[in-house]
Amino acid sequence: MEDRSRDNTILGAERALAYSEGLRAYMLSVYNYMALGLGLTGGVALLVASSPALQAAIMPMMLLFILAPIALVFFMSFKINTMSFSTAQSVFWLYAALNGVAFSTLFLAYDGVSIARVFFITAGMFAAMSLYGYTTRKDLTAMGGFLFMGLIGIIIASVVNMFIASSGFQFLISVIGVLVFTGLTAYDTQSIKESYTAGSSSEVAGKRAIFGALRLYLDFVNLFLMMLQLVGDRK
């Protein structure tokens, strides 16, 4: 009996270790995809912003470059389980590149040093909240509903402010946006962590990692945009 109990204990410890190592590898893959996506977005944005010829060619079609990434997010959300891993990768890279074109306009509106400063502030906030979401034992599921309602409210308020163009209202939207996307960073990190399943095929795990990276990418860029509106220096 003692030998069997000891064997079960050893087997349990080995399984726990294997799960822990698999989880770390999975989350590292998520963060790597997210970081590469942000790098691609930033590189494309700088390239377009530094080329008057590209700006002149793209500006008449800028609405397309703004709307296309939104369509790709919905496409991935509904099709991630049925598309192949290679397709999911391609869609993610396309999404990041198209966002780069859209974000190139930020370099025309804001001082470059200010953009860099806000980026690093955002990176620090994101890292802290993502680490909290990963390590906390508190169940953040209940936050999801409130944060989603806040997100919907931000979208509606932003559309309304397109017509009334109130700087005070925009300031309020940005403050609430920072709170919402800060919370979503922790919530999504915990949700992505809990979505890991030991023993999944490389295809399934890869697609989950890409979709997780998309969720965190969205949290980061939206937090960055809200912070830029709050503390960024306009030209």
Query: What is the distance between the alpha carbons of residues 215 and 77, in angstroms, rounded to a whole number?
Result: 10
**Choice between 64 and 198, residue whose per-residue pLDDT is larger:** 64
Answer whether residue 95 shows pLDDT above 90.
yes
Query: What is the distance between the alpha carbons of residues 98 and 229, in angstroms, rounded to a whole number?
Result: 21
Percent pLDDT > 70 in the chain is 92
Q: Which of 18, 202, 46 is nearest to 119 (CA)?
A: 46
Determine the pLDDT at residue 12: 54
For residues 128-137, give the mean pLDDT: 95
Q: How many residues does the chain have?
A: 235
